[in-house]
Amino acid sequence: MKIAFIGLGNMGGPMAMNLKKAGHEVKAFDLSAEACKKYAAEGLGIASSAADSVAGAEVVISMLPASAHVEGLFLGGAGKPGLLESIAAGTLVIDSSTIAAATSRKVAEAAAAKGIAMIDAPVSGGTGGAIAGTLTFMVGGEARDLERARPVLEKMGANIFHAGAAGAGQTAKICNNMLLGILMIGTSEALALGVANGLDPKVLSEIMRRSSGGNWALEKYNPMPGVMDTAPASKNYAGGFGTDLMLKDLGLAQENATAVRAATPLGGLARSLYAAHSLAGHGALDFSSVLKLVQKAS
Ligand code: NAD
């Protein structure tokens, strides 16, 4: 299949590589020349612009940071035409970015008006899942469009859920990430408390992992440096899922909670804690660095 892939960041790069490895003809584009160079060196086809990448594509995939990037790319603005103008009718667009459900619906409606099918398919599983091709996709949109997307999604993920109509994938994603943001802070607090009492963080992590406090952070993403070689914490919190991206998702959850009058007290507190962490200069570090907020500096 001819696939255009836009956004070669921490997630998009490895996802595009998995499509190439599966035999698809991928033409990718990123605004960052550095990202394009990195993946060109790995053999990925690189286009000269987003419009160039979609020429002749049967499927267009986007993996961008936030709502404004997705809206700006597809709908344009400030006198610039959106990418929807360059995408042929009948093409399938899959947006895997985590953005506001309302933005997903707006872009999907504009696409439908041009005869272009679009689904929101945000992911969970982190950069490890993107590299291994084991992501979870949470899809919003028409069931028939998901079926068209399935063979492509299966090359990048292990679990595919249909959450509901357009935007529903985004709603499922912010519920999940609100929980993840909260549990990373809780896990950090528990580890910092144990270490302050002289416990070995590796031993404590293993005790909690196998006890009732066990969770995804302890399984795959331990926030304490040196406990888990593969976790961003052991790589100076580089790569992974940026604090500012987690802050964005918690903001989306709070906006949504306000709109539907839901009570999300811990989600609100978690957003404030990640905001404080970002203001302290840690926005670009992986979100598990939130441990620094609760641990005595060594
Ligand atoms: P990232 O910041 O590493 O990458 C985003 C890429 O998009 C950058 O390379 C940037 O140059 C590019 N970009 C921005 N605007 C562009 C445009 N108009 N055209 C082309 N390229 C453009 O972000 P990421 O970690 O890859 O995350 C991408 C999305 O996936 C976010 O919405 C994030 O919330 C979500 N997500 C991330 C993770 C994770 O662990 N990193 C996990 C699940 C979901």
Look at residue 222 and tell me whether its pLDDT is greater than 80. yes
Residue 253 Cβ inside 6 Å of ligand 1? The answer reads no
- The reply to whether domains 2-165 and 171-294 share a CATH topology is no
Out of 32, 34, 63, 83, give the residue to mutate to test ligand 1, the one with the largest number of ligand atoms within 8 Å of its CB: 63
Out of 6, 17, 31, give the residue to mutate to test ligand 1, the one with the largest number of ligand atoms within 8 Å of its CB: 31
Kind and range of the H or E run holding 155: none
Look at residue 298 and tell me whether its pLDDT is greater than 80. no
- CA separation, residue 23 to residues 26, 57, 114, 211, 244 (Å): 9, 15, 29, 43, 34
Residues present in the chain in total: 298
Taking residues 2-16, what's their average pLDDT?
Answer: 98
- Residues 205, 209, 213, CA angle at the centre, nearest 5°? 105
Check if CATH label 3.60.21.10 holds for domain 171-294: no
pTM above 0.85, yes or no: yes
By the 10 Å C-beta count (0-12 exposed, 13-18 middle, 19+ buried), 291 is classed as: buried
**Residue 11 alpha carbon to ligand 1 centre in Å:** 7
Q: What pLDDT is stored for residue 297 in this prediction?
A: 79
Residue 69 Cβ inside 6 Å of ligand 1? The answer reads yes
Residue 39 Cβ inside 6 Å of ligand 1? The answer reads no
Pick the CATH number of 2-165 from 3.20.20.70, 3.40.50.720, 1.10.3720.10, 3.40.50.300: 3.40.50.720
Catalytic residue positions? 173
Q: Are 258 and 219 in contact (CB under 8 A)?
A: no
Residue 10 Cβ inside 6 Å of ligand 1? The answer reads yes
Residue 127 Cβ inside 6 Å of ligand 1? The answer reads yes
CA nearest ligand 1 atom 43, residue: 124
Residues 170-180 have pLDDT tens digits of 999 999 999 99
Kind and range of the H or E run holding 80: strand 80-81
Residue 71 Cβ inside 6 Å of ligand 1? The answer reads no
CA nearest ligand 1 atom 30, residue: 97
Residue 82 Cβ inside 6 Å of ligand 1? The answer reads no
Percent share of the chain, pLDDT over 90: 97
List phi, psi (to 5°) of 276. Answer: -60, -40
**Residue 64 alpha carbon to ligand 1 centre in Å:** 4
Look at residue 142 and tell me whether its pLDDT is greater than 90. yes
Distance between CA atoms of residues 176 and 77, nearest Å: 31
CA nearest ligand 1 atom 44, residue: 123
Q: What pLDDT is stored for residue 296 in this prediction?
A: 81
Residues 10-54 have pLDDT tens digits of 999 999 999 999 999 999 999 999 999 999 999 999 999 999 999
Residue type, 193: L
Residue 291 Cβ inside 6 Å of ligand 1? The answer reads no
Give domain limits for the chain: 2-165, 171-294
Taking residues 244-251, what's their average pLDDT?
Answer: 97
CA nearest ligand 1 atom 25, residue: 10
Q: What pLDDT is stored for residue 121 in this prediction?
A: 98
CA nearest ligand 1 atom 4, residue: 9
